Structure formats: structure tokens, C-alpha cells
Amino acid sequence: MKKYIFTLLSAACIGFTSCSEDTMDEININNEDPAPEKVPAKLQLTDAIMSTGFSTVSGDFAFYTSSLTEQNCGTGNNQLAKAELRNSIEWAASTTFNNVWNSTYGNLLNIRQMIEKIETEVPGNVGQYDILGMAQVLEVVNFGVLTDMMGDIPYSEALKGQANMQPKLDAQKDIYAGLIATLDKAIENLTKGQNLKNAGSQDIAYNGNAKKWLAASYALKARYLIHQLAVNPGVLAEAKAAALKAVELNFSSFRVNGFSGDNSCDNPWSAFEWSRGYIAPSTTVANIMEANNDPRLYGYTNTFRKPGREDKFVQTPCPPHTPGDKSQAEKSWTTGGSAWYDLATRSITLMSEAELYFILAEAQLRSGEDATNAFQKAVISSVNEVNSYMTAIYNESGFEDFLKAKAEAEAYATSLGTPDLKKVFEQKYLAQCIDEQVETYNDIRRLQAMGESYITLTNPMNTQSGINRFPYRLPYGNSAVLGNPNVAKAFGDGFYVYTEKTWINGGK
């Protein structure tokens, strides 16, 4: 009898143990944050787009390079003031861009997971060529910004997790070949998936419209081809062809939408300016605008016509600063930068329509062709964009429509006359003052490598005691410098940023 009781008790205990283990298995599953392989790729798209815009394109890279390009002046007696005064350690420190380095590679891991799920046909992701193409486009933008800013970076061995914790640095020349190849894959997939609607509202750029992503793919291809012009003149025809294809497909600005403007989700430039007050308008930009009677001047300098007083202006306390002025840079600048930074609901630009037409105009001029149409379309697009922002902001505050007495955007573009390369790059420089400063930094370095200069930078701190203090590239992130011997060796003491140009800008 005792034997039977013991057997029953043993069975019961085993049952209880089994039940307990099953219960624990359930408990250990985080249903609020499931494993990546359980999440459909399309549900990762929103975060991939937002991170690309908020962190990689319009984050620290843009804030800092806006001082280098003199499209803004750094102020506030803090890191942006140090950047403005070309503090050598601020620009050469591995900690300066560590956050954006980490966030960009983190976003690339998310994007790479999306690509792998669709390519390996994980259930729930099969045949989603539209999502695949979108992810490949985003991969190019993120790797493109990283290599443009830093040169050689982990690329072919990156994002492999425990399989390779110390990836090698790939040469920028090889990375660029990879970017173009990836864009070609994106074009192929978006062509196959152009009638699919898998993304829907998860797509905060084009609301699931794969045809618009296809146009953006060609526009980006034109960008990354023209970037190589200083070291590979043969790309000019390809860049022009890609730009024309984007125009044919009705490319409209590639932007990240969805900002609420209620302090919970603001445009990054607005959030940065309101919380820090670290940027102010620059006399470099204001002087060019004033010389051309540019209708964007009032938005740039935060100056507005007062209703009923067309002969008078009301100017907020935001006069342009002089680049490199120590007293101005160290001043706590709390009254704000250019007016468009007040529009917290404004989208983030990944690539504007104006940039595409400026690329086309450059390619046409260098090919000996008439570029008037492309040039005027670029200028018109930029002026209309600024006017729409100003109207959205100040009609609500009692100000009249921005530039009540302004000429039409078309008339302004016509007034600039027949374009040459100086006019193209000058107007491109002005158009990119809103949130495309990273591309301006690319242009300035590329033109320097080509022996050309169309924008005169006036910051005297660019050279100190006869030593260059305008960085040719930006330093690697601290996490990689400390954790990857390959990056640490390339980084050295960080001062290589003043002496070593990137490949696309005439370096190795």
C-alpha cells in the first residue's frame, strides 16, 4: 500500500514540476517586447524611418556641421559654442558623436533584420518586395551618412553581433560601391513591388506608396554618384541619368512625417533649439540672401512684416551672428534661431526635391547643357517650402502671410538669370539651411577636392596659428574606439580629422 501511495505522490510531483516549468516558460516570454524574429518586418519600418531622420540625418551630425558650413552659428557657451570657435578637442573627441554613432548602427541592425526576414522568406514576410526595397533604401541613407561623415567605417563585417564583435574598417571606395549596388537592388524590388500596399500607415515617409520610394531610390542614386565626382569624373553621366529618372517618376521630397508639436514628439531642430538655444542665424547666409533680395531672408533672420504696416518691420531679437565671433558664441542665446525652427510639426528632410534639381542642374552644366529649367525648379521648390512653413507658423500668431509684398517664387527664380555653377551651389547652400546641412558639408569638401569654391566661409577660427581647424571628417564614436582595436588604431588621438581627407573628397 505504501508503495502505491509513494508512486502516486511521485507522479503528482512530476506533474507539478512539469506544470511549473511550462508556467515559467510562459512567464519568461516578454509579450510586450517580442524577439525580433517574431515581429513582421513591416512593423519595424516606422522606427527605421524615424530613427534615420531624427538621429542620423537631423541629429548631432546636422547640428555640428551647420556651424562648419556657417548655415548657423553655434552659441550658448557650451558644446556648440566650442564647435563654433573650432575647439580642437571638441571636434576630435570620440565622445562628441558617440550617441549618433551608436543610434545609427542600432538602426542599421533593425533595418538589416527587416531585409533578412524578407529575403529568407520568414513566414509573414514572404513576397513583400515593397518593404524590402524600403529597407534597402534606408540602409543606404544610414551607411551613406556614416561614411560621408567619417570615411572608412565598419561595413561588410558590421551588424553580425556575437559572430564578429570587432569588425574591420572598409575602405570608403568599397562602401560606395556597396551603396550603389544596394540602391540597384532597392530599385529592382520596388519595381516588382510598386503596386503592393504592405507598409500602409507604418510608412511615415510616403504612406506605403512604393512608387514614391522608387523615385526616391533614383534621387538618392544621383546623390551618391555625384558625391564621387572629385575622384571619378565618369560618374557624371550616370548621376544625370539617375536624376532624370527620378524626375520622370515625379520624385517628391523624401521626408519623415508624424511630428505632433505637443512637446511629446517635436521636430528635432525645434526640440534642440527650444531646449538648448545653441544656434543663431549667420551673417554668411544673410549677406548672400540680402544681395539677391531673397524672399527667404525674413524667415532666416526671424523678421516679419507687421499687419497694416507694410513700410515697417518687426524683428524679433535674432540678428545674424558673425561666424567665429567669440563674444557672440559664448553668449547664452535663448531667443531662437531661424523662424522655421519654431514649427515643431515640420517634417525631417532625408532628401529634398530642391536637392534633386540642383544635382541635375550641376550635371547639366558640367555636361555643357542648359540647366535653366532644373535650376529654376530647384529654387522655386525651396522658396515655396519656406513660404509654406512661415504661413503655417505666423498666420496662427496674428502675423500676415509671410512676405505679403513678395514676388512669386517663379519670378524670384527668373530674377537670378542664367545659372552657372556658382549660382547653383549658392542657391543650393541657401536651400539647405533648413535641415540639410550634412549635404552642404559634403558639397563644400567635394568642391574643395575639385579645386572649386563657390561659398566663401568667413569663420577666422577655421585656421588657428597657421594650423587647419576645419575638420575634413568627423571622429568615430567612443564605444567603437574603446571596444574595437580596428577603430582605435584608425582613431589614434583623434587629430587625424584635421589632416586626413575621406576618399570621395580626395583622400585615401
pLDDT at position 316 is 54
Structure confidence at residue 342 (pLDDT): 85
Q: In whole angstroms, what is the distance from residue 355 CA to residue 432 CA?
A: 8
The DSSP result for 358-379, as a single string, is HHHHHHHHHTT---HHHHHHHH
The reported pLDDT for the residue numbered 388 is 84
Model pLDDT, residue 307: 42
Residue 264: what pLDDT? 72
Instruction: Spell out the residues 6+ positions from residue 401 whose beta carbon is closer than 8 angstroms to its own.
Output: 391, 395
Q: Identify how many contiguous H helices and E strands the chain contains and give both numbers.
A: 21, 8
* CA distances in angstroms from 432 to 65, 69, 197, 425, 469, listed in the order given: 12, 10, 32, 10, 23
Q: What does the pLDDT read at residue 319? A: 79
Phi, psi of 450 (to 5 degrees): -90, 0
Domain 39-259+336-505, second-level architecture: Alpha Horseshoe (1.25)
Are 102 and 110 a contacting pair, CB within 8 Å? no
- Among 246, 410, 432, CA closest to 354: 432
d(CA 169, CA 155): 7
Query: Which residue type, as a one-letter code, is found at position 44?
Result: Q
Q: What is the mean pLDDT of each run of 10 residues along the chain (508 residues)?
A: 40 40 50 70 98 96 98 92 97 98 98 97 96 98 98 97 95 98 98 96 98 98 98 98 98 94 82 86 95 89 56 58 95 75 92 98 98 97 89 60 58 96 98 97 98 97 97 98 98 98 97
CB 430 within 8 A of CB 288: yes
Q: How far apart are CA 68 and CA 59, in angstroms?
A: 15
| 3-state secondary structure (DSSP) of residue 310 | strand
Cα–Cα nearest to 321, from 310, 312, 330, 308: 330
Contact 318, 301 (CB under 8 A): yes
Whether residue 384 contacts residue 352, with contact meaning beta carbons closer than 8 Å, is answered with: no
CA proximity to 295, closest of 418, 436, 428, 407: 407
Predicted local confidence at residue 17, as pLDDT: 39
C-alpha cell at 506: 580626395
